[in-house]
Copies of this chain bind each other. A is one copy, B any other.
Amino acid sequence: MTAARTVYITRKARFSAAHRYHVADWRPERNREVFGASNNPFGHGHNYDVEVTVAGEVEPETGMVLNLREIDGIVAEEVVSRLDHRHLNEELPEWRARVPTTENLAIDIWQRLAPRLDRKQARLYRVRVYESPDLYAEYLGEKE
């Protein structure tokens, strides 16, 4: 995968979800101080954009790093069908005790996609999550 001619291909997907920032162990005053309005009890929501970047060598015959239809299928299963139209804290077990910040969402989506996208000549390179046009988080996996 340390190919001489690495190309990075990025696909954007979208989902709409509600979330709330809250640490159960903290007193209400501290939750409010750290998280502000994001601590409001019933949550609020966003249109999220997710950019999934796969890096690899271009397959000479097809001209592709990885067939886009394959990427789309995996992203639909692991990201869109899982998160779209959900209240993350209320409906998804992984967010019951973990704050669904943009940072944590990027890590979580990476961990779901990486095992399914890694190939002999391609691998997941980066997950970028936009909470809004003005805020995004990126995760590139663990570095040894």
Contacts and interface: CB of A to CB of B under 8 A. Distances in A.
Interface of A: 2, 4-14, 16-19, 21, 23, 25, 34-38, 40-47, 58, 61-65, 67-69, 84-87, 90-91, 98-104, 106-107, 132-140, 142-144
Given A10-B136, A17-B45, A86-B40, A63 B5 contact: no
- Chain copies in the assembly? 6
Contacts of A86: 40, 42, 44
Contacts of A40: 85-87, 91
Contact of A46 (B46, B63, B65, B136): B46
A6 B83 CA distance: 24
A45 B16 CA distance: 6
A44 B16 contact: yes
Contacts of A64: 99, 101, 103
Contacts of A69: 36
Contacts of A138: 7-10
Contacts of A133: 12, 47
A80 to B, nearest CB: 11
24 contacts: A5-B107, A5-B142, A7-B138, A8-B137, A9-B138, A10-B137, A12-B134, A16-B44, A16-B46, A16-B132, A17-B44, A37-B84, A38-B85, A42-B90, A43-B43, A43-B87, A45-B45, A45-B46, A46-B47, A47-B132, A61-B99, A64-B99, A64-B101, A65-B137
